[in-house]
Chains A and B, each alone.
Chain A
Amino acid sequence: QVQLVESGGGVVQPGRSLRLSCAASGFTFDIYGMHWVRQTPGKGLEWVATIWYDGTYKYYADSVKGRFTISRDSSKSTVYLHMNSLRAEDTAVYYCARDTYLMDVWGQGTTVTVSS
């Protein structure tokens, strides 16, 4: 079945780096744009980044621009979020979602905690 599975979350100190992965299955990965969206505890949803279906375009929220990089590997049907210079305010559950305009499939999320 159509599925997205995130991994790579954990506890990290401020200023350090982390790489999140989102493994896709059950659909043709190469024709879909992909997003990362985060949700802070008890708060709402914040869009983080989007990568076009072929990787040609990438967009970032101002809050992560210059620190986070979204990428994809078609051979592994996986989208990544490389997070550098992490801050306490980056603490959240990170979800990946499918489709540039719909966000029609979501993963279960992976939790990132930035704390000393």
Chain B
Amino acid sequence: EIVMTQSPLSSPVTLGQPASISCRSSQSLVHSNGNTYFNWLQQRPGQPPRLLIYRISNRFSGVPDRFSGSGAGTDFTLKISRVEAEDVGVYYCMQATQFPNTFGQGTKLEIK
């Protein structure tokens, strides 16, 4: 099983300031077809998860461009250029390269 490890687990951020979340996988997420099925999800309070970024760096439909993803192999990063109040919630990384699909522990983003 691929273990996904996020850091930090909690991130207090000032509105308008940047935020960054890291995720490391216990093995390479490169699929045999050459794609890397690594995604970032956002879960706002009381809501289901929502796809933010897929295949490392592709913003999903409707996701603001202040969100960006980067990385390769086993190390990945989600960045928010300027945090807004609506960004409060828990962020999860996940891999769908191999079964079982696995998620990180989640990073709680809160406003200072």
Task: Provide the residues of chain B in CB contact with A50, threshold 8 Å.
Answer: 99, 101
**Per-residue contact bits, chain A 75-116, to B (CB 8 Å; 1 contact, 0 not):** 000000000000000000001010011111111110000000
Q: Which of B96, B100, B101 has the most CB of A within 10 A?
A: B101
Place the interface of chain A in its size category.
Answer: 20 to 34
Identify which of A44, A62, A97, A106 contacts B100 (C-beta below 8 A): A62
Q: How many chain B residues have a CB neighbour from A under 8 Å?
A: 22
Task: Provide the residues of chain A in CB contact with B35, threshold 8 Å.
Answer: 101
Taking the closest CB of chain A, its distance from the CB of B63, in whole angstroms, is: 11
Contacts known (A45-B92, A50-B101); A103 close to B51, Cβ less than 8 A: yes
Task: Provide the residues of chain B in CB contact with A105, threshold 8 Å.
Answer: 51
Query: Of all chain B residues, which has the CB nearest A105?
Result: B51
> Is A61 a contact of B100 with CB atoms below 8 Å?
yes
Contacts known (A44-B105, A47-B103, A95-B49); A103 close to B92, Cβ less than 8 A: no
Task: Provide the residues of chain A in CB contact with B51, threshold 8 Å.
Answer: 102-106
Q: List 22 A-B contacts (CB under 8 A).
A: A44-B103, A45-B41, A45-B94, A45-B103, A45-B106, A59-B99, A62-B100, A95-B48, A97-B49, A100-B96, A101-B54, A101-B55, A101-B96, A102-B54, A103-B51, A104-B60, A105-B51, A106-B48, A106-B50, A106-B51, A107-B48, A108-B48
User: Which residues of A come within 8 Å of B, CB atoms?
Assistant: 35, 37, 44-47, 50, 59, 61-62, 95, 97, 100-109
Apart from A44-B103, A47-B100, what 12 extra A-B contacts exist at CB < 8 Å? Answer: A44-B92, A47-B101, A62-B100, A101-B96, A102-B39, A103-B51, A103-B94, A104-B60, A106-B48, A106-B49, A106-B50, A108-B48
